[in-house]
Structure 1
Amino acid sequence: MPNLPPPLRVPLLVLGMVSLVLGVLAGLARLAVDLPAPVMARAGGHGALMICAFLGTVISLERAVAVARGWAYLAPLAAGVGGLVLLAGVSPLAAQIAFVAAAALLSAASLWVMRLQFAPFTATLALAALCWLAGNLVWLQSQDMTLAVPWWMAFLVLTIAGERLELTRLLPTPKAARRGFALLAGLLPLAAACGLIHPVPGRVLYALALLALAFWLLRYDIARTTVGQTGLTRFIAVCLLSGYAWLGAAGLFGLLDVLAPAPGLRDAFLHAVFLGFVFSMIFGHAPIIFPAVLKVKIPYHPAFYLPLAALHLSLLLRLAGDLGGRPESAQIGGIANGLVLLLFILTMAASVLRGRRQ
């Protein structure tokens, strides 16, 4: 089956974007924002829409382009269709099966790449895909989405860390540091599995692994060097370093949530990862990934910093509301988070139009 040409990749991306928009609205419904009844009814699917349907589609699409094999595009198709099924209100089982199929196909593509080019970063990407598959199977078997969240988080964290690990080959990373990375990467799924049987030790180990991985990335990522450059290179580095700070904060929130539980810590932990860390990475890599996937130009502009700054400020407002017991501040911060994503999309679209004129 031949590689899919760029114009035919657009519908797959659109599937993911539909889940992004409605997933954000579902998240606002969870914050008690008054929205139409059909959106309120999808509030419980917020996590699956954002992680499996949106991010699963985008990551699988990127991997399919890299693999350059037609069958690999079945993964983003399955993830996107799973999102539509979830939104349609059909039996959750159909969406769960679609997400399991998507993760299995992404795992197959990642393992195929690892077989062709065995390296620490390809092994990490394959492990990440397998974590997504494990999380989807846990959700399917238990019908409890919360049990899948640590696996889904590992999927995203390890995918990003694996892609960054590829670039650390340009730096003289000590052998002990490389072994340390492998240990931390393995700890995440181990802690997720432990949490299914022994929740408290598993959550402590998971939070410690996130915290240690954040320090590893801050110490050894090439972004520490490239932040001193200019233009797009510096912007990407700023996105990465700020994202690692959020990942470290998430590790601390996760520890506190177990050792000294307080209202709002769980939400702070989840959104420090899924919004602060993951979307900082998306903002930084979008000017590189979208041109590769869709064959469009996205020339750099200093305006790229606007959605990035707004992301951090709105998330700080949300977490201040969570931790300070001020639900109205958390709600305003959540609405601002959604507007930030819209601002980012508009910024990228404006850059695409600017690239066409050049």
Structure 2
Amino acid sequence: MTIRHPRRLPLLALGMMALLTGVWAGLARLGWNVPLPRPDFSSLHGPLMVSGFLGTLISLERAVALGQPWAYAAPLLTGLGALVLVAGGPLVAAQLLMLGGSAGLVVIFAAIIRRHPALYTSTMGVGAVVWLLGNLLWFLGRPVFLVVFWWAAFLLITIAGERLELARLQQVPRGAQAVFLFLVGLLLSGLLLLEGSFDAGVRLAGAGFIGLALWLGRHDIARRTVRQTGLTRFIAVCLLSGYAWLGISGLAALIYGGVPVGPQYDVILHAFFLGFVFAMIFAHAPIIFPSVLGARMAYRPLFYAHVVLLHTTLLMRLAGDAAGWGAGRQIGGLLNAVTLVLFLANTVTALGSLPERPGTTTRAPT
């Protein structure tokens, strides 16, 4: 396998380290008797997965897109923050590193917006600011069950901005763009309400989740590309299934409201972070990883294995939550972890490969 940009590998490795250790901590939170480096390690599951893995990956992708050497400071800081968490260093040091990394992403988007002022770049810039504010709240000692909705909004707004960019190919009417802005405002209003009324804030954010799921399902180009073949269809299937999970998470937030722990909390968060966010990752991985590393990557029908496994195991986990079936929740969660490992294996083995047949390269409409 030839990698044209090997200097980016350490940054990607830091993100992968955060993913794998975050998954390990998540298994402990589910009640599996896994060895941990210290008793409180399971509490790091959320920060490792969101700021350590996803924040590093998004920052790295945007640094590559901007093409400025200074921009790589953002993924470096978040990746080092994750390393400090895993190594057992001072929590405040990790928080400051991740706070610095999220501030770096804001600066990256400021530069991007100057170059390309548009609704989609501004939307993603707002997402970066939301992440920065969420990390600031975490640094100031706010509980993770509250901060996690800021982290979720960062990911949703960023992803929505990316999809809005491609939605331009369908010439989205101004009225639909106005609805999009209203829904983002609804989500942001829910975040601002969390401090005063956690329950009302979660429900309002949930309404934003549902609205954006419906908007994306209606206006995303994936509605058209799902009729095609190969990688193009695979990406569309991942996207549309992810929007369904986003709607389910929003509906659960509307029904359950502000629950800080327990099975209902698990439904809201993991329908979002596993069902929605990882469906988006599965969709974009065949594009992002070759772009970041400068390596070839072939689409393989085997990619559907980790997509199908994600949805079936998540259904099992959330059914366990809803029915009070503890074993189902635990086993489903364990299989969620197996799914993510399978995804990494499928992705790594496809890197450096040539396409299996014409039309299956990573250069496909998304």
TM bracket, shorter-chain basis: over 0.9
The within-5 A match list for 1:155-304 is 155-258=154-257, 264-304=263-303
Which residue number corresponds to residue 31 of structure 2?
32
The 3 A distance-change label for structure 1 pair 65 and 101 is same
- One-letter identity of the residue aligned with 2:311: H
The structural deviation recorded for 1:37 is 3.2
Which residue number corresponds to residue 147 of structure 1?
146
The 3 A distance-change label for structure 1 pair 187 and 115 is farther
Q: Is the 8 A contact 1:299 1:355 kept in 2?
A: yes
CA deviation map 1:160-193 (0-9, x unaligned):
1110000000003121111111121222222111
Moved more, 56-65 or 186-195: 186-195
- Runs of 5+ consecutive residues of structure 1 not aligned to the other structure: none
Q: 1 CA distance for matches of 2:142 and 2:219?
A: 39
The within-5 A match list for 1:9-28 is 9-28=8-27
Which residue number corresponds to residue 332 of structure 1?
331
Q: Is the 8 A contact 1:26 1:39 kept in 2?
A: no
The structural deviation recorded for 1:82 is 0.3
Detail structure 1 runs of 4+ shifted over 4 Å in the superposition.
259-263
The within-5 A match list for 1:35-184 is 35-38=34-37, 41-184=40-183
The structural deviation recorded for 1:292 is 0.8
CA deviation map 1:216-236 (0-9, x unaligned):
000000000000000000000
**What is the TM-score normalised by the length of structure 1?**
0.95
- One-letter identity of the residue aligned with 1:210: F
Q: Is the 8 A contact 1:61 1:75 kept in 2?
A: yes
Higher RCO (Cα < 8 Å, 6 or more apart): 2
The within-5 A match list for 1:311-330 is 311-330=310-329
- One-letter identity of the residue aligned with 1:308: V
CA deviation map 1:190-244 (0-9, x unaligned):
2111111222221121010000000000000000000000000000000000000
- One-letter identity of the residue aligned with 1:211: I
Moved more, 141-150 or 253-262: 253-262
Which residue number corresponds to residue 361 of structure 2?
none
The structural deviation recorded for 1:259 is 8.8
- One-letter identity of the residue aligned with 1:118: P
CA RMSD of superposed structures (Å):
1.8
Q: 2 CA distance for matches of 1:9 and 1:261?
A: 37
The structural deviation recorded for 1:350 is 1.8
CA deviation map 1:277-334 (0-9, x unaligned):
0000000100001111101111111111010000000100110111110111111001
The structural deviation recorded for 1:85 is 0.6
Q: 1 CA distance for matches of 2:223 and 2:39?
A: 43
Q: Is the 8 A contact 1:235 1:305 kept in 2?
A: yes
The 3 A distance-change label for structure 1 pair 159 and 179 is same
- Runs of 5+ consecutive residues of structure 2 not aligned to the other structure: 358-366
- One-letter identity of the residue aligned with 2:285: A
Q: Is the 8 A contact 2:298 2:355 kept in 1?
A: no
Q: 2 CA distance for matches of 1:327 and 1:260?
A: 18
- One-letter identity of the residue aligned with 1:92: L
Q: Is the 8 A contact 1:215 1:248 kept in 2?
A: yes
Q: How many residues align?
A: 354
Moved more, 324-333 or 180-189: 180-189
- One-letter identity of the residue aligned with 2:301: P
- One-letter identity of the residue aligned with 2:69: G
The 3 A distance-change label for structure 1 pair 84 and 356 is farther
Moved more, 283-292 or 37-46: 37-46
**What is the TM-score normalised by the length of structure 2?**
0.93
- One-letter identity of the residue aligned with 1:213: L
The within-5 A match list for 1:302-313 is 302-313=301-312
Q: Is the 8 A contact 2:202 2:258 kept in 1?
A: no
Q: Is the 8 A contact 2:243 2:276 kept in 1?
A: yes
Q: 1 CA distance for matches of 2:153 and 2:205?
A: 9
Q: Is the 8 A contact 2:239 2:279 kept in 1?
A: yes
Q: 2 CA distance for matches of 1:33 and 1:47?
A: 17
CA deviation map 1:17-61 (0-9, x unaligned):
011001000000001101113165310000000000000110000
The structural deviation recorded for 1:15 is 0.4
- One-letter identity of the residue aligned with 2:148: V
The structural deviation recorded for 1:261 is 11
Q: 1 CA distance for matches of 2:113 and 2:142?
A: 32
The 3 A distance-change label for structure 1 pair 297 and 39 is farther
Which residue number corresponds to residue 354 of structure 1?
353
The 3 A distance-change label for structure 1 pair 259 and 69 is closer
Q: Is the 8 A contact 2:145 2:260 kept in 1?
A: no
Q: Is the 8 A contact 1:26 1:40 kept in 2?
A: no
Equivalent position SS for 2:353: helix
